[in-house]
Amino acid sequence: MHFRGKLRMEFLWEARLGLVRKRLAPVLVLAFVAILPRMGFASAVDWLYVVDVPVAERSARAVASASAQALEIMLLRISGVFRLPPDDQMLNTALASPQSYYNRFEYPEPEVLRIYFEPDSVLRLVNRAGLPLWSANRPQMLGWIVVRRGSGREIVHGEHPLAEAMLEAARGRGMPLRLPLMDLQDQINVNEGAVWGRLSSVLRPATERYGADFIMVGRLTETASGAYDGNFEIWMKREELSLEMEQVTFEEAGEGAVAWVAGELSARYAVRNAKAGQIHLSVTGIDAIKAFSDLLDYLARLDFVTDYGLLAMSAHTVTVGILTRADQEQFLDLLERDGQLKRDQDEPFGARVVWQR
75 and 183 inside one domain: no
Q: What is the pLDDT of residue 76?
A: 95
Domain membership flag for residue 263: yes
265 and 298 inside one domain: no
Closest to 7 (Cα-Cα) out of 315, 268, 289, 242: 242
Domain membership flag for residue 26: yes
Task: For the chain, list residues with pLDDT below 50.
Answer: 6-39, 42, 350-351
Domain membership flag for residue 2: no
Q: What is the pLDDT of residue 292?
A: 85
Domain membership flag for residue 131: no
Closest to 305 (Cα-Cα) out of 139, 174, 138, 133: 133
Task: Single out the residue in 269, 295, 321 at which a domain terminates.
Answer: 269
Per residue, the 3-state secondary structure of 241-252, as one string, reads EEEEEEEECHHH
Domain membership flag for residue 130: no
In terms of DSSP bridges, do strands 240-248 and 228-235 run parallel, antiparallel, or are they unpaired? antiparallel
108 and 148 inside one domain: no
261 and 276 inside one domain: no
Torsion sign, CA atoms 327, 332, 335, 336: negative
Task: Single out the residue in 251, 269, 287 at which a domain terminates.
Answer: 269
Task: Single out the residue in 269, 296, 320 at which a domain terminates.
Answer: 269
- What CATH number corresponds to the domain at position 237? 3.40.50.10070
238 and 281 inside one domain: no
| Backbone φ, ψ for residue 307 (5° rounding) | -160, 165
CA distance 131 to 125: 9
Number of domains in the chain: 3
For the stretch 193-250, pLDDT in tens is 999 999 999 999 999 999 999 999 999 999 999 999 999 999 998 889 999 999 999 9
103 and 150 inside one domain: no
Say whether 350 sits in a helix, a strand or coil: coil
Whole-prediction pTM: 0.80
**Domain residues for 217?**
138-269
CA distance 7 to 260: 5
112 and 159 inside one domain: no
Torsion sign, CA atoms 69, 269, 13, 264: positive
89 and 18 inside one domain: no
80 and 160 inside one domain: no
Q: What is the pLDDT of residue 346?
A: 62
Q: In a 10 Å sphere around its CB, with 0-12 CB exposed, 13-18 middle and 19+ buried, how is residue 44 labelled?
A: middle
Domain membership flag for residue 220: yes
260 and 279 inside one domain: no
Domain membership flag for residue 3: no
318 and 239 inside one domain: no
257 and 154 inside one domain: yes
In terms of DSSP bridges, do strands 214-222 and 141-149 run parallel, antiparallel, or are they unpaired? parallel
Tell me the CA distances in angstroms from 324 to 25, 69, 79, 184, 273, one per residue in order: 11, 29, 15, 47, 9
Domain membership flag for residue 317: yes
